[in-house]
Structure 1
Amino acid sequence: MTARDDDLVAGEPRRVLRRALAHLSTQRRDDGSLELLGEVPPELVDPLVRAMQRVADELVADDERRGEVPRSGGRLHADAFVALLLRVTDTPPDQA
């Protein structure tokens, strides 16, 4: 197994998450918010959902550790998505 094969982000292969995220795009709404659009292929959905849940769990645990009211609902999902996206697009350690 090479370093690229075991390059995990939130427990899932970075290359799989990149492929899943490549199927998504954003569209700005009239109110200034962003709408997430796309259709992730079925074989990429489970890894993406698992990774997002792991990141969401980390965010909630961090909120609790800091004594803050844990994020939930849409805010938690949006924050988890952005955090996952940032992690996936970071340069892997073996390529830095």
Structure 2
Amino acid sequence: MATPDGDDADLVAGEPRRVLRRALAHLSTQRREDGSLELLGDVPPELADPLLRAMSRVSEELAADDERRGAVPRSGGRLHADAFVALLLRVTDTPPEQA
């Protein structure tokens, strides 16, 4: 399957992996005095929109999985943090055809 720009479709959470990698490259972390991490960045709109859509999909998957397991569904900041980490792991994972 090819995307409109001719690259093979390598989708992560419904979005092209290469686009998500470019979006994530605009982000960095900064450690706060309390030990927590703050996520910083200025992601261009053409990269931010796919990143937000992918985050939303992963958040929905995590909440649905919690419900399926009979656990209290994650929400708010915890859900968003877990979804970000899950998406980051998926994006940086080696695609099956390259493994």
TM-score range, shorter chain: over 0.9
Task: Please say if residues 5 and 13 of structure 1, whose CA atoms lie closer than 8 Å, have aligned partners that are also in contact.
Answer: no
- CA distance, structure 2, for counterparts of residue 29 and residue 78 of structure 1: 16
Q: Unpaired runs of 5+ in structure 2?
A: none
Normalized against structure 1, the TM-score is what? 0.95
- Structure having greater relative contact order (Cα 8 Å, sep ≥ 6): 1
**Shift in Å at residue 69 of structure 1?**
0.6
- CA distance, structure 2, for counterparts of residue 93 and residue 62 of structure 1: 23
* Residue number in structure 1 paired with 2:35: 32
Per-residue Cα deviation, 1:13-49 (whole angstroms, up to 9, x for no partner): 0000000000000011111100000000111111000
Task: Please say if residues 17 and 47 of structure 1, whose CA atoms lie closer than 8 Å, have aligned partners that are also in contact.
Answer: yes
Q: Identity over aligned residues, as a percent?
A: 86
- CA distance, structure 2, for counterparts of residue 23 and residue 33 of structure 1: 20
Point out 4+ residue stretches in structure 1 off by more than 2 angstroms: none
Normalized against structure 2, the TM-score is what? 0.93
For residue 35 of structure 1, give the secondary structure of its aligned residue in structure 2.
strand
* Residue number in structure 1 paired with 2:46: 43
Task: Please say if residues 63 and 70 of structure 1, whose CA atoms lie closer than 8 Å, have aligned partners that are also in contact.
Answer: yes
- 1:60 and 2:63 equivalent? yes
**Shift in Å at residue 5 of structure 1?**
1.9
Task: Please say if residues 9 and 87 of structure 1, whose CA atoms lie closer than 8 Å, have aligned partners that are also in contact.
Answer: yes
Q: Unpaired runs of 5+ in structure 1?
A: none
Per-residue Cα deviation, 1:52-92 (whole angstroms, up to 9, x for no partner): 00000000000000001100000000000000000000001
Instruction: Number of aligned residue pairs: give it.
Output: 95
- CA distance, structure 1, for counterparts of residue 44 and residue 93 of structure 2: 23
